[in-house]
Structure 1
Amino acid sequence: MFSKDEIIRAGYRVLLEREPENTSVVEEAAASMESAEEILKHFSTSTEYIEKLGAPGYLSAVAVGRGARRQSIETHTSLDNMQALFERVRKQWSKLGETEPYWSVLTDERYRMSTIERHQDSFEASARNEMALFDAALDRCFTNPPKGVCLELGCGVGRATRYLSTRFDSIVAVDVAEGNMRICKEAMQQDEIENVDCRLLTKVQDIADLPEFDMLYSVMVLQHNPPPVILYMLGTLLPKLRPGGVAYFQVPTHTLRYAFSIEKYFNSDPSILDMHALPMQDVFSSIATAGLELREVLADGWTGQYGSHTFIARKPA
């Protein structure tokens, strides 16, 4: 068993290719991090390490994208199949919502129920970082972004909801997991936030029954749904944007070696949590069909692997 000091020193030598500045730096890092996973994540996401990757790392990612091939991904199905796909996802996340609600939002071992109390601050800090990216994107793309009703697709335990509530007049926060929704409601009550309307989605038709809105916000949510459900969600929700409204959502589009067959999916182990993707041309088609103007598409790091993108689109006023 290696000590935290030894792992930290190894991180400096292997990942940063240098010795730590002094013993104090190592001691401070050891005191602030609980596990080997946390230490490795600290080094691998540091600015110094990312800058060391530099051009070779960037060009490698570009090369993967340039050589991408058409993937076998079924995106259309019957309404009955759609409901069955949705129900499978709902059951998976409902179970997690009752057993590991925080880990279900961010799959980091620190956020297991056994340790979340010690790491609540970092859990909430992740939402502030997410909001900083959101604010920067809106600032890049719009002079006056909308402030009315925001639909948060996949509110989870309310991690980002409390911050969205300060940016919009009201929030419609939706999720499929009752346990997560319960925690979200409790968090809003505890913080005396009164402009959040929490709604539990129990069937696919509930998506079509949602009201119109001025902002669609969804990060790390669509990817947990099979491609036909992702396409249905986009095709149903994007037209609900009011004139001048904005859609800000993330979804994987080019996951390596990904394929989706409805028949194979129904015959697979339902306990396995899959990471899904929707081809980019289907995302573009949904945006165009809804009459939106695409403002930006950026590669992001939300899945921790190549192929995830954040889309920003606007409905003309």
Structure 2
Amino acid sequence: MKKLVDRLMRTGNRQDVLESGVSREAVEWAYRLLLGREPETEAVIELQMEGNRDLGQLRNSFLASPEFNDRLPPAARIQLHGGEPPNVIESDGSPELLARLFEHIHRSWHQFGEEQPFWSVLTAPEYRDQPEEVAIERFFASGKAEIERFQKTLKRMNLSLEGRRTCLEYGCGLGRVTRHLAPHFERITGVDISAAHLAKARALAEAKGIEGIDWLHLRSIDQLNELPQVDVIYSLIVLQHNPPPVIERIIKTFARILRPGGIAYFQVPTYRVGYEFRLADYLNGKLKPGMEMHVYPQSRIFRIFAEAGAVPVSVVEDGCTGILRERSNTFIFQKAQA
């Protein structure tokens, strides 16, 4: 850190310092100041140096990380005040248009599964390309932490997973969370749009002797009609990567396949300052493969589940996206008993 200050004093130009790349010292101090610990390995330091072009990107990478967010006091997070203008979000479309949207997302995530399977799930530099074994272990351990948080949330609502036989995880990716959900159910269905992710998820789970998981590749949007009825639905950091018309179709599916008394636990961004989605403009643009971030309004989510006979049990702001001036919510809905 002293070297960075010395360079700033010599040049007098903050921008020159910020644009001059990322040093080992900068990475070490980012870990110490923002995460309160030392870097795990030399390989992690090198990944951070290679994966961040300047200090600004390094800073933003750490500030957006789940580890930093968990350490941040709620009062320190940037909050929306509630008086922001409405988003214009079109979510209606013909079956043909929905199929086109789905195919675009399908193509993007299959490519991610082939080229960046771990990073596309958790976008930290240490998961790029072929991660070190210690990074892979940390990757899957983070899924266990997610399930522990899920259980604590249910307990706070006087609910539990006990007695619930079946579960569906939508957007299971590499099975990071799926393998930790599996012991709580007789059967769990891991659904994903990417065949490449699923193939790796199955192989990694089998290598660990994990059983009770049915891996399902969602090849088309019409396959949503074939998903089984279940007692629990789980989906985090997934829906946000779909355009609003696809998010709507998925959420309607959640509400439909949830069994009486069942629990749906899922996350989706519900507001972003300046966001809009106009279907014609989106389809007329260049639909290039990539990781998109979208928004779907709270009010429509409440209406969809109300029409299916389900009530909101919990709605919390979660900070899952790390995008400023955005609200992301984690919902729990429970369907009425028959």
**Fold match, TM over 0.5?**
yes
**Match for 1:165: what amino acid?**
A
- 1:209–1:253 CA distance, 2 compared to 1 (3 A): same
Moved more, 188-197 or 303-312: 188-197
Assess if the C-alpha contact under 8 Å between 1:302 and 1:308 holds in 2. yes
Residue number in structure 2 paired with 1:289: 307
**Deviation (angstroms), 1:102:** 1.1
1:310 aligns with 2:326: no
* 8 A Cα contact 2:151 2:160, kept in partner: no
Q: Which amino acid aligns with 1:314?
A: Q
Task: Give matches, 1:195-214, under 5 Å.
Answer: 195-214=212-231
Q: Which blocks of at least 5 consecutive residues in structure 2 are unaligned?
A: 1-20
Give 2:106's aligned residue: 90
Post-superposition Cα deviations, 1:200-252, rounded to whole Å, max 9, x if no partner, equal: 01111111111100001000111111101111111122121111100000000
Kindly state the Cα deviation for residue 113 of structure 1 after the two structures are TM-superposed.
1.9
Aligned pairs (5 A) from 1:1-317: 3-9=23-29, 28-29=38-39, 31=41, 33-34=44-45, 35=48, 40=59, 45-46=67-68, 50-51=72-73, 55=75, 57-58=76-77, 60-61=78-79, 64-145=80-161, 146-271=163-288, 272-305=290-323, 306-317=326-337
| Change in 2 beyond 3 A, CA 1:255/1:42 | closer
**Change over 3 Å in CA distance of 1:290–1:269 after alignment to 2:** same
For residues 40 and 130 of structure 2, what CA distance do their matches in structure 1 show? 21
- Taking structure 1 as reference, are residues 253 and 10 closer, same or farther at Cα in structure 2, changes over 3 Å only? closer
CA contact (8 A) 1:255 1:307 kept: yes
> Structure 2 length normalisation: TM-score?
0.81
Contact 1:208 1:237 in 2 (8 A): no
Q: Is the Cα contact below 8 Å between 1:239 and 1:291 reproduced in 2?
A: no
Q: Which digits, 9 at most, give the CA deviation of each residue in 1:50-80, with x for residues without a partner? A: 24xx74x34x41xx24122211110111111
| SS of the residue 1:307 aligns to | strand
Matched residue of 1:107: which SS?
coil
Instruction: Report the TM-score when normalising by structure 1.
Output: 0.86
User: In angstroms, what is the RMSD of aligned CA positions?
Assistant: 2.6
The residue matched to 1:179 in structure 2 has which SS?
helix
Distance 1:82 1:68 in 2: 29
What secondary structure sits across from 1:254 in the alignment? strand
Alpha-carbon deviation of 1:142? 2.9
Q: CA deviation at 1:49?
A: 6.6
Q: How many matched pairs?
A: 301
Report % sequence identity.
Answer: 34
- Provide closer, same or farther for how the CA distance between residues 76 and 39 of structure 1 changes in structure 2, counting only shifts above 3 A: closer
AA at the equivalent of 2:72: I
Q: In structure 1, how many angstroms separate the alpha carbons of the residues matched to 2:244 and 2:160?
A: 33
Residues 302 and 316 of structure 1: is their aligned pair in 2 closer, same or farther, counting only changes over 3 Å?
A: same
Query: Match of 1:242, SS?
Result: strand
Unmatched 5+ residue regions in structure 1?
none
Taking a change above 3 Å as real, the CA distance of residues 94 and 10 of structure 1, as seen in their structure-2 partners, is closer
The 1:116/1:156 distance shift into structure 2, 3 A limit, reads: farther
More divergent stretch after superposition (185-194 vs 237-246): 185-194
**1:151 maps to amino acid:** L
Contact 1:102–1:116, Cα closer than 8 Å, also in 2: no
Is the Cα–Cα contact under 8 Å of residues 166 and 185 in structure 2 kept in the other structure?
yes
Cα displacement (A) at 1:119: 1.3
